[in-house]
């Protein structure tokens, strides 16, 4: 490939002048400028970004680490779509690294982006603990921001949704509709999100003096299959419920199908609510409701903050985000039709 030196020779100037023409830094006569551009065209010169970035110590890239398990489905698409769009609006490039499915691989992905000298990094952690992340942030000079976790020491470096409060609000809405027997399928309880959504459910019941029935709670692991298994468990226990909250949409969908195949009508006999917003996609049947987490706003906020930090700003901690229950046909009924 043609380098700057060849362009310089062709135009009869020095490397320095070519560089000046390219970057716009420093004065250069109009006539030589023309000659340089012509030489560039002539030999199809393209700048080597590796060399440029090495020299300037900036790469104009933002790194994003997301776990493998999130790659499937609409949530990830939305996240990536907005992240890429916003990054490029700022004249930078987004680089995605796969966090795969273990803490070690998550660390490796982050390390790779750091070694690549990304100007800043956003992580959507799944296996790393808050403490480890907090430490990581302080070890590296590049700003490392965190999505979906409430950090302890670096509050200005995280953007998250109050999952507990969001869950509580959603369940309260069901209670206001008249539901009292509300079943709950948890997410993986090794994830903060899973834990918080469960605790929100409990808080809502407590707030309204509805006794907590352990028999109404079953464990799930985020997948449609576990949602459907959860319904089996509930029905086999012989408990009755007029509403079912699943900790994400995948499980809500699995649950709904299983309810139907066991002869229960959704939403007439059981209202089903999920989280995230697959259930709100245009191609879903309107028999499910879902709690929409504001991904777009969150990714927007985090990138704004990151850019601001890169430009040398200091950020004060911001309040957390809140999800909102989007009711579809499924919530009109109330219990027992």
Partner DNA sequence: TTGTACGCGTTATCAT
Partner DNA sequence: ATGATAACGCGTACAA
Q: Which residues bind a copy of itself (CB under 8 A)?
A: 1, 44, 46-51, 53-54, 59, 68, 71-74, 76-78, 80-81, 84-85, 88, 93-98, 100, 111-112, 114-117, 139, 141, 224, 249-250, 253-254, 278, 282-285
Q: Which does 212 bind (CB under 5 to 8 A by kind): a copy of itself, DNA, none?
A: none
Q: What is the 3-state secondary structure (H, E, C) of the chain?
A: CCCHHHHHHHHCCCHHHHHHHHHCCCCCCHHHHHHHHHHHHHHCCCCCHHHHHHHHCCCCEEEEEEEHHHCCCHHHHHHHHHHHHHHHHCCCEEEEEEEECCHHHHHHHHHHHHHCCCCEEEEECCCCCHHHHHHHHHHCCCCEEEECCCCCCCHHHEECECHHHHHHHHHHHHHHCCCCCEEEECCCCCCHHHHHHHHHHHHHHHHCCCCCCHHHEECCCCCHHHHHHHHHHHHHHCCCCCEEEECCHHHHHHHHHHHHHCCCCCCCCCEEEEECCHHHCCCCCCCCEEEECCHHHHHHHHHHHHHHHHCCCCCCCCCCECCEEECCHHHCCCCCC
Query: Quick check: 157 and 146 in contact, CB under 8 A?
Result: yes
Tell me how far, at minimum, the Cβ of 251 lies from a copy of itself, in Å.
10
Task: Kindly state the smallest distance separating residue 212's Cβ from a copy of itself, in Å.
Answer: 30
> Least Å distance between CB 116 and a copy of itself?
5
Of DNA, a copy of itself, none, which one sits near residue 78, judging by CB under 5 to 8 A according to partner kind? a copy of itself
Please, which residue, 91 or 319, has the CB nearer to a copy of itself?
91
Q: Residue 207 or 268: which CB sits closer to a copy of itself? A: 268
Of a copy of itself, DNA, none, which one sits near residue 77, judging by CB under 5 to 8 A according to partner kind? a copy of itself
Q: State in angstroms the smallest separation of the CB of 90 from DNA.
A: 19
Could you tell which of DNA, a copy of itself, none binds residue 222, using a CB distance below 5 to 8 A set by kind? none
Query: Are 45 and 60 a contacting pair, CB within 8 Å?
Result: no
Please state the closest distance from residue 80 (CB atom) to a copy of itself, in A: 6
Contacts of 243 (CB under 8 A, 6+ apart): 174, 177, 179, 181, 182, 183, 270, 271, 272, 273, 335
Nearer to a copy of itself, 261 or 318 (CB): 261
38 binding partner (options a copy of itself, DNA, none; Cβ < 5 to 8 Å by kind): none
**Cα separation, 3 vs 21, whole angstroms:** 14
CB of 48 to DNA, least distance (A): 3
* Shortest Å distance, C-beta 142 to DNA: 13
Binding site for DNA (CB under 7 A): 1, 3-5, 12-17, 19-20, 22-23, 25-29, 31-33, 45-48, 51-52, 54-57
Question: Considering CB distances under 5 to 8 angstroms, the limit depending on partner class, which of a copy of itself, DNA, none binds residue 3?
Answer: DNA
Q: Min. distance of Cβ 54 from a copy of itself in angstroms?
A: 4
* Residue 74 interacting partner from a copy of itself, DNA, none (CB closer than 5 to 8 Å by kind): a copy of itself
Q: State the binding partner of 33 from DNA, a copy of itself, none, CB within 5 to 8 A by kind.
A: DNA
Cβ-based nearer residue to DNA, 16 or 281: 16
Our CB check for a copy of itself shows the closer of 205 and 307 to be 307
On whether the CB atoms of residues 208 and 182 are closer than 8 A, the answer is no
């Amino acid at each position: 490939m043609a380098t700057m030196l060849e362009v310089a020779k062709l135009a009869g100037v020095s490397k320095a002048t070519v560089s000046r023409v390219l970057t716009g830094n420093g004065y250069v006569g109009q006539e030589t400028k023309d000659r340089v551009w012509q030489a560039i065209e002539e030999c199809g010169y393209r700048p080597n970004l590796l060399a440029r970035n090495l020299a300037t110590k900036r790469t104009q890239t933002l790194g994003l680490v997301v776990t493998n398990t999130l790659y499937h489905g609409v949530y990830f698409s939305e996240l990536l779509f907005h992240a890429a769009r916003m990054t490029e609006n700022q004249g930078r490039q987004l680089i995605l690294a796969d966090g795969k499915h273990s803490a070690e691989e998550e660390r490796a992905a982050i390390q790779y982006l750091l070694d690549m000298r990304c100007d800043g990094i956003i992580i959507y952690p799944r296996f790393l603990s808050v403490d480890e992340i907090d430490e990581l942030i302080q070890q590296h000079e590049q700003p490392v921001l965190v999505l979906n976790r409430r950090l302890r020491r670096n509050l200005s470096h995280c953007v998250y949704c109050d999952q507990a409060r969001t869950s509580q609000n959603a369940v309260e809405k069901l209670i206001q509709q008249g539901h009292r027997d509300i079943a709950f399928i948890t997410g993986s309880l090794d994830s903060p999100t899973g834990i918080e959504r469960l605790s929100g459910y409990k808080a809502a019941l407590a707030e309204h003096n509805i006794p907590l029935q352990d028999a109404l709670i079953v464990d799930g692991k985020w997948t449609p299959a576990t949602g459907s298994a959860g319904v089996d468990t509930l029905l086999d226990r012989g408990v009755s419920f007029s509403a079912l909250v699943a900790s994400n949409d995948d499980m809500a969908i699995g649950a709904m199908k299983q309810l139907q195949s066991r002869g229960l009508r959704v939403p007439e006999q059981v209202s089903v609510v999920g989280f995230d917003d697959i259930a709100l996609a245009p191609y879903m049947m309107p028999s499910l409701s879902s709690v929409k987490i504001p991904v777009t706003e969150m990714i927007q906020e985090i990138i704004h903050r990151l850019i601001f930090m890169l430009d040398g700003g200091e950020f004060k901690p911001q309040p957390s985000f809140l999800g909102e229950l989007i009711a579809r046909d499924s919530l009109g009924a109330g219990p027992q039709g």
